[in-house]
Amino acid sequence: MAEQLPLPVLYDGYDQGHYTLPAAVVKARDTYRGVEAMPFPQPPRNAWETVHDVVEATVDAVAAGTKLPDVELIEQARRAERVYQDALDMIGGCLDLAAQRARTVLREQSTAIITEHLRPALAETWQAYKDAHRILAEYGQTEPRHLLSAPSKVRKASDTCDLMADRYNAIAGARSQLASALSITCPDDPRGKYTMLRNYHQLFPVRLATGRPPWSGLSTRHYLDWMAEHGGQLWLPTPAEQRDALLHELPDSSPLKQVA
């Protein structure tokens, strides 16, 4: 089975306009899609059916005393099957190569994807969310079901929160796929606490592995509400920046901090 296009979630968010991507990354995807759109050849007639036809025609010709059929028809049918299979193998190889090249470009551009594309989109998204949430907080209600009779400015702010929550999901999903598909991770932060949040332990000082932060299990909008209300510093670091944030919040007695 041919390789699939890597990081489809990343491309979905780009197609939906949630963020930009490097030109080389988009070009690699377009190349894969172009190969994928190549027309597949139609399967030829089964060679065994041709053998049967030639056998039947031969017996009929002997019975009628007419010219025997050309046995070369069998070889032509087999040749058509080989050409068809070669074409399928070739297209599969093209898809594999296009996917491998896309993966290489994604890996080469991974830092730029984070710092020049996803990060600005997140900063814009988070600022827009906080601005809209502030309007809701001033009104005294943040739940959409309680805003049906609210002023248009307030209802518009609630709509903005919904839109920015969707955009946040797309950005977070793209970052997650970079981590899972290309291993763009911080080894010192195996649980990924600082992948999207700079001040994790400031907000939740408990360091037990089984500790559940107060935002655990919340919907995206409620998660963003909680962060807006408690000073959450949403960000999108490189693995090195993620490690720095982790070290910054570790106690001085931590072996990892002492080594660093």
Q: What pLDDT digit, counting tens, does each position of 25-81 carry?
A: 999 999 999 999 988 888 999 999 999 999 999 999 999 999 999 999 999 999 999
Angle, alpha carbons 36-38-39 (nearest 5°): 125
Predicted local distance difference test score (pLDDT) of residue 3:
86
Same domain, 198 and 141: yes
Same domain, 143 and 84: no
List beta partners, residue 197.
234
13 in a domain, yes or no? no
Predicted local distance difference test score (pLDDT) of residue 257:
53
In single-letter form, the type of residue at position 61 comes to A
170 in a domain, yes or no? yes
Same domain, 123 and 223: yes
Same domain, 44 and 74: yes
Domain of residue 44: give its range.
Answer: 23-108
pLDDT grade, residue 255 (50/70/90)? low
Same domain, 82 and 123: no
Give the range with max mean pLDDT: 84-98, 108-122, 201-215. Answer: 108-122
16 in a domain, yes or no? no
Predicted local distance difference test score (pLDDT) of residue 206:
84
Q: Which two tokens stand for residue 236?
A: 């999108």
pLDDT grade, residue 19 (50/70/90)? very high
pLDDT tens column, 187-245: 999 999 999 999 999 999 887 767 899 999 999 999 999 999 999 999 999 999 999 99
36 in a domain, yes or no? yes
Same domain, 92 and 172: no
Of all residues in the chain, what percent carry a pLDDT higher than 90? 81
Distance CA(50)–CA(224), nearest Å, equals: 67
14 in a domain, yes or no? no
List beta partners, residue 234.
197
32 Cβ contact partners less than 8 Å away, ≥ 6 residues apart: 5, 95, 98, 99, 102
Predicted local distance difference test score (pLDDT) of residue 253:
55
Same domain, 123 and 252: yes
Domain boundary among 48, 74, 108: 108
Same domain, 31 and 131: no
Same domain, 116 and 198: yes
Whether the CB-CB separation of 200 and 194 falls below 8 Å is answered with yes
- Quick one: CA dihedral 165, 166, 170, 171, positive or negative? negative
Same domain, 64 and 167: no
Distance CA(205)–CA(171), nearest Å, equals: 26
Domain boundary among 62, 79, 108: 108
Predicted local distance difference test score (pLDDT) of residue 246:
86
pTM of the model: 0.85
Whether the CB-CB separation of 191 and 216 falls below 8 Å is answered with no
Predicted local distance difference test score (pLDDT) of residue 251:
64
Same domain, 155 and 177: yes
152 in a domain, yes or no? yes
Average pLDDT over residues 151-169: 96
184 in a domain, yes or no? yes
5 in a domain, yes or no? no
Count of domains in the chain? 2
134 Cβ contact partners less than 8 Å away, ≥ 6 residues apart: 228
Whether the CB-CB separation of 167 and 121 falls below 8 Å is answered with yes
Domain boundary among 53, 74, 108: 108
Average pLDDT over residues 16-30: 98
Same domain, 251 and 134: yes
pLDDT grade, residue 147 (50/70/90)? confident
